[in-house]
Amino acid sequence: MKRLFKHIAPVAALTLLFGMTSCTKDLDVSPINPNMDTQVNADGLFNKCYANLGLQGNGGANGDCDIDGLDGGTTGFIRQMWNSNELTTDEAICHWGDDGIQQFCYNTYDMSHPMLNGYYARLTTGISYCNHYLEIAGSADATKAAEIRFLRALQYYLLMDAFGGIPFSTTLAVPSYKNRQEAYTWIENELKEIEPALSEAKAKTSSDSMYGRVDKASVWMLLMRLYLNAEVYTGKAEWAKAAEYAKKVIDSPYKLNTTGANGWSAYQMLFMGDNGESSAAQECIFPVLCDGKKTTSWGVTLFLMASTWDADMVGNPNDTYVDEEGKTQMNCSNGTSEKWAGNRARMNLVRMFFPTGEVPQVQAFEMKQAAGDDRALFFGVGHSLMNENGYMGDFKDGYGVAKFINYKSTGANVMGNDSQFPDADFFFFRVAEAYLTYAEAITRQAGATTTTPEATEYINAIRSRANNKDLHTTYSMKELCDEWSREFYFEGRRRVDLIRFGKFGGESDYVWVWKGGAKNGRNFAATKNVFAIPADQVKGDIKQNPGY
């Protein structure tokens, strides 16, 4: 059983720890203002700052939500980060009728988009919790204060990345406005300032008391990501700095997981029900914790499993039963009872693993063998590849994605602790990101159009971990962009990478199926590279982004 990290209470106890209300009264409040009174248990508020990333509110999956005005299940931090960064790209498409899904899939989002409203509110509310903790207990424990300042900086980073100019305050006062350059500078300085107070970088499993809490490596990862995208954010490239912090991570005690178990590949173990306990944990620098009994949510790894699965998909060939005719059959399961049949792969994503040949209609465990790459976890039986009908298509109008499952690596057929909610943590930062960042940064720093020998070495290490035998002596920038997708698809970051490579909004040489709402793809305005500030939040000093 996974234990929560020290001082983090089970979700059912969180409400008792708070002498406060932790929800915005509606989405028309000032962005930095959780409407909290001052009678707060400091440990409970410390917990809440972390819990905001994994829980919708104080009561678990079916309890009250911190964000009023939207269905609680849709407002989870990971879920909305995923929607905005995946459905808008060449990786994912969904056919659900939820308000906002079609606009994401066709890149027609605007300032009235309800899910962007929820994402904005989730981030600004989380920042408020951090500000409140620092106001009442920031001087009590230097390490804990640095951790909360990191969580605040992380959410400011995500706010800046998604929305450009942002509301800003380090107190519970009404926020001012920082443009993207100003936000970038503040985040950079804040991360450098808190680094000395954080605990040393150390790989951990869920049995360690500090598992789930940030350490120095988390700062290196966020600085690395900030610098890698600096040219997008500020107009000035910072490739050398991105490479510097990527190398800090690579040389740290955190390591790329290269160990599989009981038939599960080293790659797949990163997304399984015991990823916090297995060798996979050594790759994770900052997990968002999930426990099927203690921290239930519709918005973290359950969303990633259930939304990508239907009742016909097989996740584990060893999970079998004997039918009425005495024949052994495979169970159709992701390790949970939830199968929502919504998000599926766009053709372009699957094609990255089959650039020249036909894509077979086979089970996911057979697909990776056909692709010669353990990362090709797509389900093609009974599915079409082409996304013929786009948003209007059903779940089988595109290949299923069997990447996230709640089976455990401890045996051939072992599931999580709960039949509905998973134990799989969400690995927000993992070492593989540092490998690809370092490869990209040193190549761009050299002004090269193909990867340098050292960069190629790190890309090949990633491909070798996936048992891909097609190891190049050099990679083009297009191939590197594709490698980012092959390694990190459906992990909530694709939009950011496409923008950095000049493949998202604006005049681009790359279109994907249904990009811009056209079946064969079409470009859309570069102003769509940032989302609109929700209309209700454009007041006071807060300025709307161009193009909206």
| Integer Cα distance of 24 and 190 in angstroms | 27
- Alpha-carbon distances, residue 302 vs 73, 263, 295, 405 (angstroms): 11, 23, 11, 9
> If phi over 0 gives left and psi between -120 and 50 gives alpha, with beta otherwise, what is residue 165?
beta
pTM of the model: 0.93
| Integer Cα distance of 27 and 116 in angstroms | 11
DSSP states along 437-490: HHHHHHHHHTT-SB--HHHHHHHHHHHHHTT-----S--BHHHHHHHHHHHHTT
| Integer Cα distance of 431 and 237 in angstroms | 22
- pLDDT at site 64: 84
The answer to whether residues 452 and 266 touch, using CB atoms and an 8 Å cutoff, is no
pLDDT beneath 50: ranges in the chain: 1-38
| Integer Cα distance of 529 and 507 in angstroms | 12
| Integer Cα distance of 533 and 396 in angstroms | 34
The answer to whether residues 533 and 177 touch, using CB atoms and an 8 Å cutoff, is no
